[in-house]
Amino acid sequence: MDLEVYDHLAGKETLILYMTQSGEGRIPLSGGLLTQDRNTRILRDAYDYRPVHKRQVVIGERLMCSAVVPGQTLQTRRTLPTDWVVTSVETYEPSADIPGFREITIAYCERKPLSLEEFKALIDDNNVKVSADSFASDEEAYDRFSDRENIKGYVQV
Please list the rounded mean pLDDT of every run of 10 residues in the chain (157 residues): 70 88 76 70 87 86 82 67 92 75 90 87 68 72 68 51
How far apart CA 65 and CA 48 sit, in angstroms, is 17
Q: Residue 25: its pLDDT value, please?
A: 74
Q: Residue 145: its pLDDT value, please?
A: 73
Name which of 18, 29, 23, 119 is nearest 61 in CA terms: 18
Q: Residue 74: its pLDDT value, please?
A: 57
Q: Residue 103: its pLDDT value, please?
A: 87
How far apart CA 95 and CA 55 sit, in angstroms, is 19
Beta strand extents in 9-151 (DSSP E only): 14-20, 27-29, 38-40, 42-48, 62-69, 76-92, 103-111, 124-125, 128-129
Provide the whole-model pTM.
0.65
Contacts of 118 (CB under 8 A, 6+ apart): 81
Q: How many residues does the chain have?
A: 157
Q: Residue 84: its pLDDT value, please?
A: 92
At 124, which amino acid appears?
D
Q: Residue 149: its pLDDT value, please?
A: 46
Q: Residue 128: its pLDDT value, please?
A: 55
End-to-end Cα, the chain, rounded Å: 59
